[in-house]
Amino acid sequence: MQLFYNPSIDKNTNEITFDKIESRHVVKVLRKKEGDYIYLTNGKGDLFHCKISVANDKKCLINVVDIEHKKQQRKYYLHLAIAPTKNNDRLEWFLEKATEIGIDEITPIICDNSERKFIKPERLKKIIISAMKQSLKFYLPKLNEVVTLSEFLKQNQTQGKYIAHCVENEKPLMKDVLLPQESSTILIGPEGDFSFSEIEKSLQKGYTPITLGEARLRTETAALVSVMNVSFINQ
């Protein structure tokens, strides 16, 4: 299945016109012709079965034949707050893999030791959309605006709340405290870790300190290990 994405379509949509870039991809790259079927999602769980009515590489027109709602297969909700990495490509790599494995919401957070304090949201959203289409998923993970950790701690209200930090003290392994089918938030700090003040504020807000193992991991690796842990717990 070749999956396309269009956030503006819904159950009332009957006809869709592709822009020049997508039209060229459909006609010249995929070599689709009139009468062929293609599939679209709006990232909200809907799968649109469509038939090409006009196969033009500048303006491809398709008609909706059937709409199928795909129920979310995962029984959990995962919100991961991550400090942007110094190199953009590392954060992009994480977003791609996390989308493929399963994640619902991502919030970039600015911490005391953050080396990067801005992101390119449009670029990151394209990475997420591409990963969603490639892995044939029908729910688009939500990418929130950048906020400071202090601001984030004021607004988050999930069931399970965890912070993975590197301070050497007694902390349980993530896999030992995660609960199946839980709505959870996990905090992943920058390369220099969370500051003592940030850890203390998180604990006061009800976050459980956890460890991901003995190895000291890069930000994006720690984030992906967290996503995989949640996925494995819910298998």
The dihedral region occupied by 43, where left means phi > 0, alpha psi between -120 and 50, and beta the remainder, is left
In angstroms, rounded to a whole number, what is the distance separating the alpha carbons of residues 163 and 211?
A: 8
The percentage of residues in the chain with a pLDDT greater than 90, rounded to a whole number, is 79
Condensed to tens digits (0 to 9), the pLDDT of residues 142-172 reads 999 999 999 999 987 788 999 999 888 888 9
Do residues 229 and 182 make contact, with C-beta atoms less than 8 angstroms apart? no
Domains and CATH numbers, the chain: 3-69 (2.40.240.20), 77-233 (3.40.1280.10)
pTM of the model: 0.91
Output phi, psi for 190, to 5 deg: -75, 180
Residue 155 CA to its chain's centroid (Å):
19
Condensed to tens digits (0 to 9), the pLDDT of residues 83-128 reads 999 999 999 999 999 999 999 999 999 999 998 888 999 999 999 9
DSSP, collapsed to helix, strand or coil, labels residue 65 as: strand
